Structure 1
Amino acid sequence: MRIVSKLNHAIQRAPNLATLVVALVVLAIFFRLQILNHFNYLSGDRYDGVIQVALLEHWFNVFTGWSNWRSPNYFYPYPNILGFNEGQFLYGAIYSIFRTLGIDGFLANELVNVAIKAIGFFGFIAAGRRILKLPLAWALLGAAIFTLSNNSFLQMSHAQLLSVAFAPVEAVLIYEAIGALLAHDARRLFRFGSIAGVFFAAWLITCLYTAWFFTLFAMVTLAVLLLTAGRPGLARLWQAIMANKLAIAGIAMVTGLALVPFVSVYTGGVSRQRAWSEILFYLPNLWDTVNVSTGNLLYGGVIEYLLAHCSRCHFGNGEMEAGLSPVLLALTGMCMFSIFRRKSAAGLAEKAALVSIAAASLILWVMALRIDGHSAWFLIYKFWPGGNGLRVVARIALLLALPATALAVWYLSRSSWPPLALLAIGTVLLAEQINTRPITTLDRRLMLERTSGIAAPPASCRAFFTTASPDTVEGDESFPVGALYPHNVDAMLIAEYVHLPTINGVASFHPADWNFGSPGSPDYLQRVKVFADAHKLEGLCQLDLKTRQWNSRPVFAATSERVAYWDLSNASEAIPADSLQGFSPAQTFGRWSEGKEASFKYTLPDSAGNGDLTLQIVLITALVNDRHSQRMLVSVNGGEKHEFVFKTTARANAELRLPAAREGVIRMEFPDAISPKELGINADTRPLAAGIKSFEIRRAIKAE
């Protein structure tokens, strides 16, 4: 009891200091991995993470006068293509502050995430204090839970989803506007109503997903409020509306004007209707309600056990790992039970807010469930505006974490449980938000190396296209993004850096005649030429992402062709056992090298000729972490050794020239081979180095 009493007393004596200290601690915990690795490895990945930075860099160019706000520098010559992805407007505004301070794009992007989380923390405190009348100590607990939210942490690869942090801010603005309406304070109503409208419009053009979910939640909440208000309440509301007609009309006008940019971008040219079967796939089942992933600090082991021993326990992965933590969910249910039984001690306004929030949360949770291939969400899909456009409905759990946290904390704040019991429950609520999954997979140094420092393009260039990135992976059906993303996303970011549009790019939607995947295929350059001719592009230059050199007069013909290809995965045809030395048995990704050396003996077909040959080794992964890098020395037939250094687990390629010989032995040395056990990854004691997917030999084609 003394601990709880002293803690509460300290918070009451210095509320601002306590709030700031808790905020800093919570943010440090959420971004602990980035802090511990000195921001060298960031949230996101090699693919979507780069798209995120490219979009934010676009806004920096807008604010500094370089770009048209609706036309990022990709998918040239198509204009007004911002709506092909999430708009990222508010993120871009914050990002531009960091970029103005000279911070590089990738670090600035992570600092934006920190800022967004901070907005959510302080927004929750404001909402808890104003709407639910929470004491500061309980508001701080709720803000910490909401900010640390396990599902938010797991979805960090889609940083735009962190914008659920805007929900409590918008809720406070709407609450203040409604209060002013009922109090017949026209000026205050117009002020808060207009701010709410403008902020919501900015949120929509930042992340449609979270803003749309909030709109749906708010409308259901409002419907419940109206249904439970009774005749006296409805009469009072109507009188207030009639008395404040001018203020309401002004709010409508301001909001309408604020929505013009969103409407101009997200309507017309882009069709967002998706098949019901696609949406049904991404609806959560009952197990996904508590799917906190195998990395959760408290429940990860339980989920692992259920996955291994329970045939009926269907936990999704990836985007389906968005469930609420069990104790939080249980307390939310207890609060709802108490509210609906009218056993809660609260004022009329507070009760109205609690009932509507609880009912809306329960209704949307039930509607979003998928049971035996059916879901009430079909009603949303069929009749709600935009319901047929948002694919991953499971993401609604990120928004529902807000009302769930608010209800659970309100319930605890009004309970008569012993202080030590409340302290223990609060500790569990915080602990169950912690996840140990390594989400920092974006190598900042590598990406700066890939996208920064590109020389200014030749003056004759009006647009450009890219060839294969050093990270392009082709010929691997299990990893299709390897042939689609690296060269396209790098082109997007480089285009913003050099202020020159590119025909490349990746987005949720693409132009109808866009066809620029697989840059290593023989017809890639011909596809570029067909596109350029169709759009009558002049001054189209080529950027070689491997040499980082521009070519203002590209030759649209294949420069090389495949002579031989050997796939080391178990999906391939059998490779003679005596041709491989020092490799593990085949797996889906390829074969691990075991020990300090490995070799592959090959024979080329007669059609290989004696031309200029190049060897490419595709590495599915290199066994590294932030404490260990990996070297690979490659030689052919005892010739010169070529050294390659891998400092990231990203897929990579190693290329070198081959001697003119029909037979050869590719020898690889791994001086830094180490076991996963020594690195603390798992219990595997084998000295591993690199996972080899394939060997490919190509022959140069001379231009005629």
Structure 2
Amino acid sequence: MLYGDNYDGMIEVAILNHWYRVFTTGAAWDVTGYFYPYASTLGYNDTYVVPGIPFSLARIAGADPFLAACASHVAMKSIGFVGMYVLLRRGLNVRTLLALSGAVLFTTANVSLLHMYHAQLLSVGLFPWLSFLAVRTARMLHRDRSYAVFAYGCGFAVLYGVTALNAFYGVWFFSLFLAIYAPVALMLMPANERQAFGAAAMRHWRALLACLVVGAIALLPMLLLYLPIMATGARHSWESGPHLYLPNMLTLFNVGSGNLVWGRLPTLLGADAPFPGGETRFGLPIGLMVATLFALLWAGRERAKSGIMLPVGIALGVVTVLALRWPPDHSAWWYIYSYVPGASAVRVVSRFLLFALVGIIPIVIVFLDRTPRRGWVLTLILAGLLVEEVQLDAPLTLDRHAQLRMLAAVGPPPAQCSAFFVVSARSADFPVLAESRAIDRAWGGDGIGTGGWSYRPNVDAMVLASYYGRPTINGISSFNPPDWTFANPQAADYLDHVRSYAMRHRLHGLCGLDVRRAVSWFPLAHGA
């Protein structure tokens, strides 16, 4: 059993295996095996390009797609661990043992483990590196080291572009944070420091301009991929999108019932209700929240010692206040959704709390590093912070052997099939009514819809296409092509939808897959 599930976890595997084909066979980087024959189909989802590299290395070494996906999880966690250590030790000058403790706290965070079934959220591990490069760029600017400004600034610009291409949520939240942090930091600076900073920026304008040019180039792949999809009107409506997934005050405490220390709290507060499912479980342990509050009070008194921690905390607080749903049902996030570019593509606003850890943990660790206390007291505090992150309800629900059996049982499409569609790839596909109802409720339905039926054949088609290298017209994502009508393979007119799609796109050699037939693969012309 691996991290993930039969739905988003399988979509992740399909996209990661796309990168394996890109690196080993030279396949087009922006065209996946699903939503055939649309162009730039990678843009309908997060690209997973960064974890795609360790995934591909694991596949080349002989791992199957599911073990390789696990290897990519390990790699992303490792990137996050080292990044947080480097940020604390080299960026913020924290003592080594405390920097290591902060890195462990970041890597083992309760909220991160709870959402391992959304592996794109592992991109949080890239943001300590972005933060480190930003801090070093500003420091080199103060020190009048133009080449260092250029080096660190270009490093930030390139990584920002890669992160934007890799997964959208994190980089959008990070950008919103920076847009609030920058004016807050400037306002909190003493007048003489603000003038010195402006003068340094003017002296090194060439290096900064070069960094902006590099950043614009680094963003081109992301813009080329996603702008055409956005042009088709791909956006979440307010009511069925962000409004549905706004955090409230109870969300801040919802660490999930499996948390070792605070697991009973969500139930007592009534915050762990089935709807909207796992997307309510983005809370922070109480000890970490209390430590953050004390750290910010200290930072307000000790500006010189705390450095950038106060403006970081204020910026995180502002974003949190904007995102919260206030009684009876109001949120300032509507203004963000309406006026900030890209906000309409952000559905689960509560995910911001995961990315906020990139700022919260440095705030706490810097506080512990720069306030004198006995070693045994510090040890107890760190031990308490680590223990309360322990989560016993890990989402280990992706059955590797079951998925491998499906791939082997179905086998590759016949040679005469130029592309395929799926009715059923598993003989036990449709006795999953409880699973289907759970997904329907998570989408805001009444629990009698066909959510699981919609997901299962489409997701299986994506994995089969990626694994065997034959495209499928099926697929599913937050945004689907304009004429995607493959939600319910059990519908009486499903094959009619397929035929209409094939005629519109002039597809020939299209085959169907239904393992419940005597012959699983069948040509569309004889599939009625």
Q: TM-score, normalised by structure 1?
A: 0.69
Q: Does 1:233 align with 2:188?
A: no
The match for 2:430 among 473, 481, 484 is: 473
**1:318 & 1:55 partners in 2: Cα distance?**
23
Q: What is the match of residue 246 of structure 2?
A: 283
Judge conservation of contact 1:464–1:541 (CA < 8 Å) in 2.
yes
Counterpart mapping for 1:150-161 below 5 A:
150-161=110-121
Q: Does 1:142 align with 2:112?
A: no
**1:102 & 1:545 partners in 2: Cα distance?**
28
Secondary structure of the equivalent of 2:401?
helix
The match for 2:160 among 200, 214, 217 is: 200
Residues 190-220 of structure 1 show CA distances to partners (whole Å, capped at 9, x for unaligned) of 2111111111111111110011111111222
1:183 offset after TM fit, Å? 2.2
1:417 offset after TM fit, Å? 3.6
**1:514 & 1:330 partners in 2: Cα distance?**
48
304 and 475 in structure 1: CA distance in 2 versus 1, 3 angstrom threshold? closer
Q: Does 1:414 align with 2:376?
A: no
Q: Does 1:300 align with 2:263?
A: yes
460 and 469 in structure 1: CA distance in 2 versus 1, 3 angstrom threshold? closer
Judge conservation of contact 1:132–1:353 (CA < 8 Å) in 2.
no
| Greater mean deviation of Cα atoms: 511-520 or 441-450 | 511-520
Q: What is the match of residue 367 of structure 1?
A: 322
1:385 offset after TM fit, Å? 1.7
Counterpart mapping for 1:159-170 below 5 A:
159-170=119-130
Between Structure 1 and Structure 2, the one with more helix by share is: 2
Q: What is the match of residue 671 of structure 1?
A: none
Q: What is the match of residue 391 of structure 2?
A: 435
1:456 offset after TM fit, Å? 4.2
520 and 388 in structure 1: CA distance in 2 versus 1, 3 angstrom threshold? closer
**1:258 & 1:531 partners in 2: Cα distance?**
36
**2:10 & 2:65 partners in 1: Cα distance?**
10
**1:475 & 1:136 partners in 2: Cα distance?**
51
Judge conservation of contact 1:526–1:556 (CA < 8 Å) in 2.
no
453 and 363 in structure 1: CA distance in 2 versus 1, 3 angstrom threshold? same
Q: What is the match of residue 405 of structure 1?
A: 361
Counterpart mapping for 1:225-624 below 5 A:
225-270=185-230, 271-277=233-239, 278-307=241-270, 317-340=277-300, 342-343=301-302, 346=305, 351-372=306-327, 373-452=329-408, 455-470=411-426, 471-473=428-430, 476=433, 478-479=437-438, 480-545=450-515, 551=521, 553-555=523-525, 557-558=527-528
**1:472 & 1:456 partners in 2: Cα distance?**
19
546 and 410 in structure 1: CA distance in 2 versus 1, 3 angstrom threshold? farther
The match for 2:84 among 110, 120, 124 is: 124
Between Structure 1 and Structure 2, the one with more strand by share is: 1
Judge conservation of contact 2:94–2:369 (CA < 8 Å) in 1.
yes
| Greater mean deviation of Cα atoms: 265-274 or 135-144 | 265-274
The match for 1:172 among 132, 145, 148 is: 132
Letter in 2 for 1:498: Y
1:272 offset after TM fit, Å? 3.8
Judge conservation of contact 1:82–1:265 (CA < 8 Å) in 2.
yes
1:148 offset after TM fit, Å? 0.8
Letter in 2 for 1:379: Y
1:315 offset after TM fit, Å? 9.8
1:67 offset after TM fit, Å? 1.7
1:323 offset after TM fit, Å? 0.8
Counterpart mapping for 1:605-684 below 5 A:
none
359 and 131 in structure 1: CA distance in 2 versus 1, 3 angstrom threshold? farther
Secondary structure of the equivalent of 1:269?
helix
**1:238 & 1:299 partners in 2: Cα distance?**
47
**1:368 & 1:490 partners in 2: Cα distance?**
35
Same amino acid, percent of matched pairs: 34
1:487 offset after TM fit, Å? 1.5
276 and 459 in structure 1: CA distance in 2 versus 1, 3 angstrom threshold? closer
Q: What is the match of residue 113 of structure 1?
A: 73
**1:549 & 1:487 partners in 2: Cα distance?**
17
Residues 422-454 of structure 1 show CA distances to partners (whole Å, capped at 9, x for unaligned) of 222211111111111141011000011112475
1:549 offset after TM fit, Å? 6.1
**1:102 & 1:215 partners in 2: Cα distance?**
38
**1:276 & 1:554 partners in 2: Cα distance?**
39
1:546 offset after TM fit, Å? 5.2
**1:233 & 1:545 partners in 2: Cα distance?**
70
Residues 499-523 of structure 1 show CA distances to partners (whole Å, capped at 9, x for unaligned) of 2111011111111111112223332
Judge conservation of contact 1:291–1:316 (CA < 8 Å) in 2.
no
1:344 offset after TM fit, Å? 6.0
CA RMSD, aligned part only?
A: 2.3
314 and 544 in structure 1: CA distance in 2 versus 1, 3 angstrom threshold? closer
Secondary structure of the equivalent of 1:522?
coil
Count of aligned pairs = 510
Letter in 2 for 1:505: G
344 and 47 in structure 1: CA distance in 2 versus 1, 3 angstrom threshold? same
51 and 549 in structure 1: CA distance in 2 versus 1, 3 angstrom threshold? farther
1:239 offset after TM fit, Å? 2.3
Residues 309-355 of structure 1 show CA distances to partners (whole Å, capped at 9, x for unaligned) of x99x9997411100111000001001111112x23661xxxx34122
1:556 offset after TM fit, Å? 5.1
**2:507 & 2:430 partners in 1: Cα distance?**
29
Q: What is the match of residue 10 of structure 2?
A: 50
Q: What is the match of residue 442 of structure 2?
A: none
Q: What is the match of residue 186 of structure 1?
A: 146
Secondary structure of the equivalent of 1:478?
helix
1:416 offset after TM fit, Å? 3.5
Judge conservation of contact 1:84–1:507 (CA < 8 Å) in 2.
yes
**2:262 & 2:412 partners in 1: Cα distance?**
52
**1:444 & 1:293 partners in 2: Cα distance?**
25
Letter in 1 for 2:506: K
**1:191 & 1:412 partners in 2: Cα distance?**
31
